[in-house]
């Protein structure tokens, strides 16, 4: 059976981008057609300036929201990255296979490092090595597929390179995974600046970010205020009309439609925004309702994470142990 792995960082409140780009597919499709693992990748949240209490709170919230989107712990494995030591054990071996040049070429590293410097902070070494830990997250489980948004495609490509290199040098150890992207909304853009990705940790762009737990009226306000492009006609063109294209993609993703055909349905920006706002409100409604129920039962979420970590550990340990032997480390007696 195909094994699927994906993760989400507790770096901020989860967004519509996270949902349409990744989480919705995990719940609706991936968990049912495969042997799937979904992870709150909390160690990755330590790669930038953070408040420890907030990371802890956001981790719990992300886990609750993952279950609220419909992940079924009877069907898939949901767990916290920091509860399974195999991720960091394997990450070190992969650091011995990766090069510093390939780390510095990662787009996300360049963007996030620039953001940290702008804030007057320093860049943590772990921000540079983050893609190696992400490769370990995936390779430790022998995952065949990694369903993510477009911004993570480069990191999955690196994971493939590291797996192939390790296998060539030390003998076949890892499955070489492939990325899967959603048909639409693989890159949801910020509503106030459609040239930049909607991201949960980018506080400077928060007005253009729809959060999964935003009240319906807040969602409506944010969508109605979305920056659109000059011109009157509703057309779908990501290059020249990025604001409009973003709204059309969000509407298409929420209604299982197609952005090009939706463009021909509308003759005003106002009507498009109104329908998009309502479609987003409707998509978020059941997630928010289930989230409220789950918040009333925190021991359930804790139990899911405990069982998930146990299952995940049992899957990862033999693969990581094989890698330790393959690279030349003496097994403990
Ligand atoms: P951060 O700003 O901390 O990097 P993020 O919003 O990018 O947060 P991640 O935890 O890095 O979220 O990513 C979780 C998943 O959501 C990944 O699969 C990523 O590709 C996807 N994703 C994130 N933002 C978007 C977006 N704007 N559109 C589509 N998919 C997205
Ligand atoms: Mg990200």
Give the CATH number for residue 86: 3.40.50.620
332, part of any domain: no
Distance of CA 283 to the CA centre of its chain: 18
Tell me, yes or no, whether 176 and 319 share the same domain. yes
Residue 110 bears catalytic tag: no
Does ligand 1 lie within 6 Å of residue 149's CB atom?
A: yes
Q: Which entry of 197, 221, 273, 311 is annotated as an active-site residue? A: 197
Nearest to 181 by CA among 145, 234, 217: 145
User: Looking at the domain assignment, is residue 138 inside a domain?
Assistant: yes
Does the model's ipTM exceed the 0.95 cut? yes
Q: Is residue 283 one of the residues assigned to a domain?
A: yes
Both tokens of 210, joined, read 């729809």
Same domain, 177 and 78: yes
Domain match, 311 and 255 both = no
* Residues 39 and 72 grouped into a single domain: yes
- Mutating to test ligand 1, I would choose from 111, 199, 253, 280 the residue with most ligand atoms within 8 A of its C-beta, which is 199
200 is catalytic: yes
- First-last CA distance in the chain: 34
Residues spanned by the domain of 254: 203-292
- How many structural domains are present in the chain? 2
- Statement to judge: residues 226 and 305 lie in one domain: no
29-87 pLDDT, tens per residue? 999 999 999 999 999 999 999 999 999 999 999 999 999 999 999 999 999 999 999 99
| Pair 254, 305 in one domain | no
Give the Å distance between the CA of 237 and the centre of ligand 1. 23
Does residue 98 share a domain with residue 34? yes
Residues 105 and 148 placed together within one structural domain of the fold: yes
Within a domain: 192? no
> Is 197 annotated as belonging to a binding site?
yes
pLDDT tens profile 72-91: 999 999 999 999 999 999 99
CATH code at position 241: 1.10.240.10
Same domain, 207 and 74: no
Is 147 found in the same domain as 228? no
- Active-site residue (options: 200, 222, 273, 274): 200
Same domain, 14 and 69: yes
The 10s digit of each residue's pLDDT in 111-136 is 999 999 998 889 999 999 999 999 99
pTM of the predicted model, to two decimals?
A: 0.97
Q: Establish how many alpha carbons lie within 13 A of residue 332's alpha carbon, considering only the half-sphere containing its beta carbon.
A: 1
Phi then psi dihedrals of residue 291, to 5 deg: -60, -40
- Is position 224 within any domain? yes
309 and 164 part of one domain = yes
């Amino acid at each position: 059976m195909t094994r699927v792995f994906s993760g989400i960082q507790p770096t901020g409140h989860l967004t519509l981008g996270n949902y349409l780009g990744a989480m919705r597919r995990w719940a609706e499709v991936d968990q049912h057609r495969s042997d799937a693992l979904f992870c709150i990748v909390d160690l990755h949240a330590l790669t930038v300036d953070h408040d420890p209490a907030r990371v802890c709170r956001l981790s719990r919230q992300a886990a609750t929201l993952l279950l609220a989107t419909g992940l079924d712990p009877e069907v898939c494995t949901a767990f916290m990255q920091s509860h399974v030591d195999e991720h960091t054990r394997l990450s070190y071996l992969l650091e011995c296979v990766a090069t510093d040049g390939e780390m510095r070429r990662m787009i996300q590293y360049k963007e996030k490092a620039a953001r940290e410097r702008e804030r007057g902070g320093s860049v943590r070494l772990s921000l540079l090595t983050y893609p190696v830990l992400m490769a370990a997250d995936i390779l430790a489980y022998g995952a065949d597929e990694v369903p993510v948004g477009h911004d993570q495609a480069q990191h999955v490509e690196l994971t493939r390179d590291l797996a192939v290199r390790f296998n060539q040098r030390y003998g076949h150890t890892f499955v070489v995974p492939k990325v899967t992207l959603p048909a639409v909304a693989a890159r949801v853009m910020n509503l106030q600046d459609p040239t930049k990705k909607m991201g949960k940790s980018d506080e400077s762009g928060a007005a253009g970010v729809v959060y999964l737990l935003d009240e319906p009226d807040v969602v409506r306000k944010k969508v109605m205020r979305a920056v659109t492009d000059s011109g009157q006609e509703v057309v779908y063109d990501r290059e020249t009309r990025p604001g409009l294209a973003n709204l059309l993609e969000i509407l298409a993703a929420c209604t299982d439609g197609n952005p090009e055909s939706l463009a021909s349905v509308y003759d005003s920006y106002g009507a498009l925004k109104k329908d998009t706002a309502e479609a987003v409100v409707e998509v978020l409604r059941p997630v928010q309702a289930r989230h409220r129920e789950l918040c009333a039962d925190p021991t359930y979420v804790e139990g899911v994470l405990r069982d998930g970590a146990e299952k995940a550990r049992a899957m990862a340990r033999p693969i990581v142990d094989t890698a330790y032997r393959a690279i030349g480390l003496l097994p403990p007696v």
